Structure 1
Amino acid sequence: MARENDAKEADRDGRPPRPTPQEVAAAEGRTIPDWVRPGLRVLFCGLNPGLYSGATGLHFGRPGNRFWPALHLSRFTERRLEPWERDALLDRGLGITNLVARTTARAAELTREELVAGGRALETRTARVGPAWVAVLGITGYRAAFDEPSAVVGPQERRIGGARTWVLPNPSGLNAHFTLPRLAEEFARLRDEVERGR
């Protein structure tokens, strides 16, 4: 009955049905298509999708992931978008990709080799799509992918595929170092730069 209600809900507002625990567990190793189009202002790059995202096919799909509220609180979006609002995100000049495509329970499961290969693939993808900025969500992953052990959150000297580069904190709830207000502050620093056109 609950699944029937979820299906009706999905028909009504576009929200997909909530996956069962078994569906989430079975999502390991899946991939999610990038949300990109030419001329993006910012291409947000997660480290890799979690199992919940793999089960739903939605970036930052787990309830409680702080990406969507941080995007809104930083005024990148005038309202809080939901993980299934792909076109609304793209219409605002914002896209999403990942350093590593495969889903895992935790980003710590990724190998250094996967992150380095993901960095190379991101260079190619970015050159093809041509965003003004690439924002990598996670300093540890950025350091490993681009062999920059001393990088800190914020703007980077490196360009990725011709795009300016910024590193943001990972919005996962597992990142206890950054509260939602602090995340939103970091997102807003990037938004200020994007709006200045620098």
Structure 2
Amino acid sequence: MSQALTAAGDGRWPRIRVGAGRHVAQLPLVLGGLHQELPVQHTVRVAMEPRNTRGWGAQRGADLAVGAGFLPSGAALFRRGVVHLTLIRLRSLPDTVCAGMKLLIVGLNPSPSSADAGIGYARPGNRFWPAALKAGLVSVDRDPRHALQYHGLGMTDIVRRTTRRADEIDVAEYNAGFARIIRLAQWLRPKAICFVGLSGWRNVVDRSAQAGVQKVAIGRRPVYLMPHTSGLNAHCRLDDLVEHFSRALALANKS
């Protein structure tokens, strides 16, 4: 268990202190590490104890848990600067996000292949990583943490529940997930946001939206919308996806 996590053994489920003394912006990666260490459906009680900063409280703690691929069981309790939550580890993916991101990639939701691999867009035939490499967004294949650390590329999804098909997601899930993305963008303030997959944006923001820079900003951050990178999307070639990523990167560079 990492130094940012400290376990205590009383009660029905283990209790883990998370991020004691660290800046709250470091918690997404700390919680992501916890997600990777635990088996699916494992229940754990966490006490998030970062340095108390502006905006820290129950809502942000719950958002961080959801973003890290956990399902909160009950409401978050905020007491004396500590957020207490009981969490269930989902078959999902954790966010790779931090302050100072150049570009935040927002997908629809994890596929089973991605959730099991612990890497977004890992399903065979998905062209995300080949296109991202060719566009210069990343320099190492299938390594989200390297992409974040060395290229400022963050990754999250609108919905954290894993499904085989995007049409299994309902509107309520899109709305709740989109609200979390807004709060995330307002907090971490990436230079730009790129939504991968048209359906999420169309379900929540603009049903007639087309790929490209959008009129609606998120947390005052400019938004680029592009088609999904799935190999099943026969309407988009690899070179088309590379061009979309290049335009999203250019938007971030000028913001």
Q: TM-score, normalised by structure 2?
A: 0.62
State percent identity of aligned pairs: 35
Tell me which residue corresponds to 2:133.
72
Point out 4+ residue stretches in structure 1 off by more than 3 angstroms.
none
Q: Distance in 1 between matches of 2:151 and 2:103?
A: 10
Displacement of 1:192 in angstroms is 2.3
Structure 1, residues 59-105: CA drift from partner, whole Å, max 9, x if none?
1122321111111112223x3x322x233101201010000001101
Tell me which residue corresponds to 2:115.
54
Q: What amino acid maps onto 1:74 in structure 2?
A: A
Is the Cα–Cα contact under 8 Å of residues 195 and 226 in structure 2 kept in the other structure? Answer: yes
Displacement of 1:127 in angstroms is 1.2
- 3-state secondary structure, aligned to 2:222: strand
Is the Cα–Cα contact under 8 Å of residues 103 and 249 in structure 2 kept in the other structure? Answer: no
Tell me which residue corresponds to 2:20.
none
Displacement of 1:126 in angstroms is 1.4
Displacement of 1:124 in angstroms is 0.8
Q: Distance in 1 between matches of 2:145 and 2:207?
A: 36
Q: Distance in 2 between matches of 1:87 and 1:150?
A: 34
Is the Cα–Cα contact under 8 Å of residues 144 and 155 in structure 2 kept in the other structure? Answer: no
Q: CA RMSD in A?
A: 1.4
- 3-state secondary structure, aligned to 2:216: strand
Is the Cα–Cα contact under 8 Å of residues 192 and 251 in structure 2 kept in the other structure? Answer: no
Tell me which residue corresponds to 2:232.
174
Of structures 1 and 2, the one scoring higher in RCO (CA 8 A, sep 6+) is: 1
Pick aligned residue for 2:247 from 176, 181, 189: 189
Tell me which residue corresponds to 1:154.
212
Tell me which protein shows more helix as a share of its residues. 1
Q: Distance in 2 between matches of 1:179 and 1:144?
A: 24
Q: Distance in 1 between matches of 2:195 and 2:122?
A: 18
Displacement of 1:141 in angstroms is 1.5
Q: What amino acid maps onto 1:40 in structure 2?
A: M
Range moving further from structure 2, 184-193 or 94-103: 184-193
Is the Cα–Cα contact under 8 Å of residues 198 and 228 in structure 2 kept in the other structure? Answer: yes
Q: Distance in 1 between matches of 2:164 and 2:124?
A: 15
Q: Distance in 2 between matches of 1:30 and 1:185?
A: 32
- 3-state secondary structure, aligned to 1:167: strand
- 3-state secondary structure, aligned to 1:45: strand
Q: What amino acid maps onto 1:76 in structure 2?
A: L
C-alpha change, 1:82 and 1:75, in structure 2 (3 Å) is: closer
Pick aligned residue for 2:192 from 116, 133, 143: 133
Tell me which residue corresponds to 2:31.
none
Is the Cα–Cα contact under 8 Å of residues 103 and 190 in structure 2 kept in the other structure? Answer: yes
Range moving further from structure 2, 55-64 or 151-160: 55-64
Is the Cα–Cα contact under 8 Å of residues 117 and 145 in structure 1 kept in the other structure? Answer: no
Is the Cα–Cα contact under 8 Å of residues 118 and 145 in structure 1 kept in the other structure? Answer: no
